[in-house]
């Protein structure tokens, strides 16, 4: 299997050295590098194992450390992974439902920005309704969710939901869109740009479980939440 890792710039192919400190009872072999393809902000660390060593249950793989030369102060350079499940072969992502993602709803347009030519920057056709999007929940970390695909095929929107308030938080999500000079367009909740902003405009990012609706106050930006392209409400309604 592969462990996904993120980078802020999609420029060129890249291999990032990694080291692996095995945990007690480890059965996994971890690659010594994270591999990123050109034009992709998500790369992978390859993990292999002997099928004869696998039994039902969880296995603490160990601690993976990325070469600090490549680690942003905004990202984690070290993490521990756990693999396996109570039912061998089951994914940690449980499907919640399939629905439609609406962007640039005229009733929820929070504002556009203009390019150097004075033209309004549009994320997609206004409004855009993207069907056949699937909502998943992480069974190991129930506060983690993703919508896949997000705006472009091959790119997922990952976010967390507060278990008490149902408020949604997301940061540095690769939309799959590209700006000038092939710059990555990221999605960030407004709270990343300005804490408290969503409450001030009464447009919170929130999961309404009763009505199977997720609302995102989204700023589309460059790397590190810089260079805002537009700010929109996204709504996801599923069955």
Query: Tens digits of per-residue pLDDT, 94-122?
Result: 899 999 999 865 555 555 555 556 565 55
User: Rounded to an integer, what distance in angstroms lies between the CA atom of residue 164 and that of residue 172?
Assistant: 24
For 186, the domain range is 93-238
Residue 81 clears pLDDT 70, i.e. is over it? no
DSSP H or E stretch at residue 197? helix 197-200
Average pLDDT, the chain: 81
The answer on 173 and 115 residing in a single domain is yes
Kindly report, residue by residue over 174-230, the tens digit of the pLDDT: 998 887 777 888 999 999 999 999 999 899 999 999 999 999 999 888 888 887 777
Helix and strand numbers (H, E) in the chain are 2, 17
- Residue where one domain finishes, among candidates 85, 117, 137: 85
The answer on 188 and 112 residing in a single domain is yes
Question: Which pLDDT value is given to residue 214?
Answer: 98
Contact 195, 189 (CB under 8 A): no
How many domains does the chain fold into?
2
The answer on 131 and 231 residing in a single domain is yes
The answer on 120 and 27 residing in a single domain is no
Question: Which comes out higher in pLDDT, residue 207 or 38?
Answer: 207
- Residue where one domain finishes, among candidates 54, 85, 116: 85
pTM over 0.75: no
User: Rounded to an integer, what distance in angstroms lies between the CA atom of residue 93 and that of residue 106?
Assistant: 33
The answer on 130 and 50 residing in a single domain is no
């Amino acid at each position: 299997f592969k462990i996904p890792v993120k980078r802020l710039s999609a420029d060129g192919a890249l291999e990032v050295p990694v080291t692996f400190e095995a945990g007690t009872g480890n059965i996994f072999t971890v690659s010594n590098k994270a591999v990123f393809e050109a034009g992709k902000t998500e790369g992978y660390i390859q993990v292999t194992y002997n099928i004869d060593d696998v039994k039902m249950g969880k296995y603490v793989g160990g601690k993976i450390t990325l070469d600090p030369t490549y680690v942003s102060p905004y990202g984690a350079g070290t993490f521990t992974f756990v693999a396996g499940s109570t039912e061998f072969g089951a994914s940690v992502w449980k499907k919640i439902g399939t629905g439609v993602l609406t962007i640039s709803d005229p009733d929820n347009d929070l504002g556009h920005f203009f390019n150097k030519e004075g033209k309004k920057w549009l994320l997609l056709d206004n409004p855009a309704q993207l069907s056949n999007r699937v909502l998943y929940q992480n069974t190991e970390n129930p506060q983690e969710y993703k919508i896949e695909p997000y705006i472009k095929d091959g790119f997922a929107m990952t976010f967390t939901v507060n278990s008490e308030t149902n408020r949604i938080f997301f940061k540095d999500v690769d939309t799959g869109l590209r700006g000038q000079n092939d710059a990555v367009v990221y999605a960030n909740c407004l709270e990343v740009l300005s804490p408290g902003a969503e409450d001030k405009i009464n447009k919170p990012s929130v999961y309404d479980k009763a009505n199977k609706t997720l609302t995102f106050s989204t700023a589309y930006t460059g790397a590190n939440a810089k260079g805002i392209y537009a700010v929109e409400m996204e709504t996801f309604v599923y069955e």
